[in-house]
Amino acid sequence: MPLQTPPLRGLHDEYGAKFTEFGGWDMPVEFESIRTEHAAVREGVGIFDVSHMGQLHVTGPDATELMQRLTSNDVSRLAVGDSQYATITDEDGIIIDDTVVYRLPDGDGNATDDADGDPTYLFVPNAGTDEATHQRWIDYRNEWDLEATVDNRTDEYAMFAVQGPEAVALVDDVTEESVADLERFEARYATIEGVDCWTARTGYTGEDGVELIVPWAAAEEIWTAFDCQPCGLGARDTLRIEAGLLLAGQDFHHDDDPRTPYEAGIGFTVALETEFVGRDALAEVHERGVEERLVGFQLIDRGVPRHGYDITNSEGRVIGTVTSGTMSPTVEQPIGLGYVPVEYAEPGTTLQVVVRGQSKKARVETTPFIDTV
Show Cβ contacts of residue 81 under 8 Å, excluding neighbours closer than 6 positions: 103, 186, 187, 188
pLDDT at 112 over 60: no
Q: Over the stretch 274-292, which tens digit does the pLDDT of each residue have?
A: 999 999 999 999 999 999 9
The whole model's pTM is what? Answer: 0.96
Q: Over the stretch 150-199, which tens digit does the pLDDT of each residue have?
A: 999 999 999 999 999 999 999 999 999 999 999 999 999 999 999 999 99
User: What is the share, in percent, of the chain residues with pLDDT greater than 90?
Assistant: 97
Residue 41's pLDDT band, with cuts at 50, 70 and 90, is very high
What does the DSSP assignment read for 15-84? Answer: TT-EEEEETTEEEEEESS-HHHHHHHHHHS-EEEE-TTS--EEEESTTHHHHHHHHSSS-GGGPPTTBEE
pLDDT at 50: 98
Task: Report whether 211 belongs to an annotated binding site.
Answer: yes
Radius of gyration of the chain (CA): 21
Residue 108's pLDDT band, with cuts at 50, 70 and 90, is low
Cβ(110)–Cβ(29) below 8 Å: no
The predicted model gives 314-319 an average pLDDT of 96
pLDDT at 109 over 80: no
> 204: closest CA among 238, 240, 232, 170?
240
H helices present in 225-366, as ranges: 233-242, 279-288
Cβ(22)–Cβ(233) below 8 Å: yes
pLDDT at 258: 97
H helices present in the chain, as ranges: 9-14, 34-43, 63-70, 130-144, 167-174, 219-224, 233-242, 279-288
Torsion sign (Cα): 108, 114, 120, 125: positive
Q: Over the stretch 323-359, which tens digit does the pLDDT of each residue have?
A: 999 999 999 999 999 999 999 999 999 999 999 999 9
